[in-house]
Chains A and B, each alone.
Chain A
Amino acid sequence: MNSRLMIKFGAMCRPIGALLICLLVWEAACRFGLVRPFLLPAPSAILDAILQEPGLFLYHAGYTLEATLLGFAMAVVLGVAMAMAIVQFRFVEQTLYPLLVSFNSIPKVAIAPIFIVWMGTGLEPKIAIATMIAIFAIVIDTVHGLRSVDPEMIDLGRSVRGSNLKIIWKIRFPHALPSLFAGMKVAISLALIGAIVGEFVAAKRGLGYMILLAQGQFDVVRMFAAMVILSVSGLLLFYLVGQAENLMVPWRVARRRSSSDH
């Protein structure tokens, strides 16, 4: 137990150490006048900007996170439903699946302005764009998970006269959970991108809006501050999905651990 904790601590130390060294070099470069502060402000200046108006940053970050999380939730619900339909019905697989793949190749940024026209400048278009960008990863991974069930497991369900619905809900879906979570880890970051894209096109709030506004005022420090908040939010969201995975897919976690031990 003790040694496991040590290993965990060691594993945490390295990336944090690397980050600290980068920040130190950056800070030093600014202090010694190697870069001009209005192009690249020092980390300490960025931190200072955040600490001076924490409420403002929180206000904008909250808006962006709301769009991200709602978009992500929509992507999960719709994506899982689509994946189930694709696996269950040949007709859906032959119609919806190719459509989805071709739709995914359209750059979403190009569609964003149309969503603003349709839905206005409120939260709705941002949610829609976040959903649209995130859903593909969910569908692809969930379809893969639902399909990778051992055929004998399906036979087992059929042998005890389980209905199709029971087989998909009680065998295929739980079996696909690890894949679904793999898709969710990609999707949560994509949802955040989607929300920012939406805000770039038209918004009155949010971190994306803040960056654009600061750009207009040539306030590089604030732009960086918003970016820092954005990356921390992204990390946090990713971490939360990982924690949810540990909670809901314990068998996968145990297997991963035992395979890394040997």
Chain B
Amino acid sequence: MSNISLERRRLPAEERRQTYIDVCDVSKTYESERGTVEALRDVSLSIRAGEFVSVVGPSGCGKSTLLRCVSGLEQPSTGTISLKGEAVLSPAPSMGMVFQRDVLLDWRNILDNVLFTADFRGLPRKQWIGRAKELLELFGLSEFQNRYPWELSGGMRMRAAICRALLVAPELLLMDEPFAALDAFTRDDLNLELQKISQKTNSTTIFITHNITEAIFLGDKVVVMDRRPGRVALVLDIELARPRALSVRETPQFAEYGSIIRRTFEKLGILRSQV
């Protein structure tokens, strides 16, 4: 199916309004050596098709757990998660995932790393090689396709990891703090590139971060989470026109969103307003 191009997948207005992911009263507890850990409590969230949702919260607020439950890698202790109306019991075929670390495979060159997704799904790689190259081109990695991960910088490695997740044109893209380990310049670059690609592919995206600015910049919606046990404290719609330039971060509207989120964290006792 290499003819799935990177052109914008047009979603009918109806489908756009429909709920794509429905997280309903999800709680998750772990048994650890130091006793029971409650990672999530009564989280409910509904995400429409094509929406870009940023989830922001401090470390240990269960945002990664939430993502793992949505992905089907883990099951919630109570509550349900459904995707297009069907319960998520295992990773969905139409899902792509980007992790905190790039987890590129050292023994595959960049092109083969991107084709990993096709290999693992048992798809004929010949049909996907064109799209893989197209993605690498888009992320400026064409000349590195025959290089190995250990020859690349952190930013380039993360770009390759994103290409890998996007290979099979996922309807659902899950990203778990993908840019946390990158420097500020590379992060800005990747924010722009991610916005560009997600507008093109129209994947429904959940993006986990602990960076408020990044969350607002990328999201159609920002979910603010409270820590231990993880709960949804606020869901904020971001009405900034797309495509957004980096300079949008200096506008009053952007600052307003930022202060709403910061005030929420202050109320939760996560951020302090005074020294």
Binding site for B on A (CB under 8 A): 150, 152-153, 155-162, 166, 170-171, 174-175, 177, 249-252, 254-255
Bound complex: CA of A11 vs CA of B106, how far in Å?
Answer: 29
Across the interface, which residues of A come within 8 angstroms of B120, CB to CB? 157, 160-162, 166, 170
CB <8 Å contact, A152 and B103: yes
Across the interface, which residues of A come within 8 angstroms of B106, CB to CB? 174-175, 251-252
Q: Does any Cβ of A come within 8 Å of B101's Cβ?
A: yes
Which of these binds chain A: B88-96, B182-190, B200-208?
A: B88-96
Within 8 A of A (CB), among B101-120: 101, 103, 105-107, 116-117, 119-120
CB <8 Å contact, B90 and A161: yes
Nearest chain B CB to A155 CB, angstrom units: 6
Nearest chain B CB to A145 CB, angstrom units: 13
- Chosen A-B contacts, 7 in total, with CB atoms closer than 8 Å, are A150-B101, A156-B99, A160-B97, A161-B91, A174-B107, A175-B106, A254-B150
CB <8 Å contact, B97 and A156: yes
Q: Does any Cβ of A come within 8 Å of B100's Cβ?
A: yes
If A157-B120, A160-B117, A174-B107 touch, whether A251 touches B148 (CB-CB below 8 Å) is yes
Bound complex: CA of A166 vs CA of B151, how far in Å?
Answer: 26
Q: Does any Cβ of A come within 8 Å of B73's Cβ?
A: yes
Binding site for A on B (CB under 8 A): 68, 71, 73, 90-91, 93, 95-97, 99-101, 103, 105-107, 116-117, 119-121, 148-151
Nearest chain A CB to B164 CB, angstrom units: 8
CB <8 Å contact, B103 and A153: yes
Given contact pairs A155-B68, A174-B106, a sample of 16 additional A-B residue pairs in the complex whose CB atoms are under 8 Å apart = A152-B103, A155-B73, A156-B116, A159-B71, A159-B73, A160-B97, A160-B117, A160-B120, A161-B91, A161-B93, A162-B121, A170-B120, A171-B105, A174-B107, A251-B107, A254-B151
CB <8 Å contact, A158 and B103: no
Bound complex: CA of A70 vs CA of B68, how far in Å?
Answer: 47
Closest to B168 in A: A160
Bound complex: CA of A175 vs CA of B117, how far in Å?
Answer: 18
Bound complex: CA of A5 vs CA of B206, how far in Å?
Answer: 51
If A170-B119, A170-B120 touch, whether A156 touches B103 (CB-CB below 8 Å) is yes
Bound complex: CA of A255 vs CA of B116, how far in Å?
Answer: 23
Across the interface, which residues of B come within 8 angstroms of A166, CB to CB? 120
Nearest chain A CB to B65 CB, angstrom units: 13
Closest to B91 in A: A159
CB <8 Å contact, A150 and B95: no
CB <8 Å contact, A160 and B91: yes
Nearest chain A CB to B175 CB, angstrom units: 12
If A170-B119, A251-B107 touch, whether A159 touches B97 (CB-CB below 8 Å) is yes
Across the interface, which residues of A come within 8 angstroms of B149, CB to CB? 251
Nearest chain B CB to A79 CB, angstrom units: 20
Across the interface, which residues of A come within 8 angstroms of B73, CB to CB? 155, 158-159
Across the interface, which residues of B come within 8 angstroms of A155, CB to CB? 68, 73, 97, 99
Across the interface, which residues of B come within 8 angstroms of A157, CB to CB? 120
Closest to B100 in A: A152
The 10 closest A-B pairs by CB, nearest first: A251-B106, A162-B120, A159-B97, A160-B120, A152-B99, A174-B107, A153-B103, A159-B91, A152-B103, A160-B117
If A152-B100, A161-B121 touch, whether A177 touches B107 (CB-CB below 8 Å) is yes
Bound complex: CA of A249 vs CA of B106, how far in Å?
Answer: 9
Bound complex: CA of A171 vs CA of B106, how far in Å?
Answer: 10
Bound complex: CA of A262 vs CA of B100, how far in Å?
Answer: 27
Nearest chain A CB to B88 CB, angstrom units: 12
Bound complex: CA of A85 vs CA of B164, how far in Å?
Answer: 30
Closest to A251 in B: B106
Nearest chain B CB to A72 CB, angstrom units: 23
Nearest chain A CB to B99 CB, angstrom units: 4
Nearest chain A CB to B142 CB, angstrom units: 22
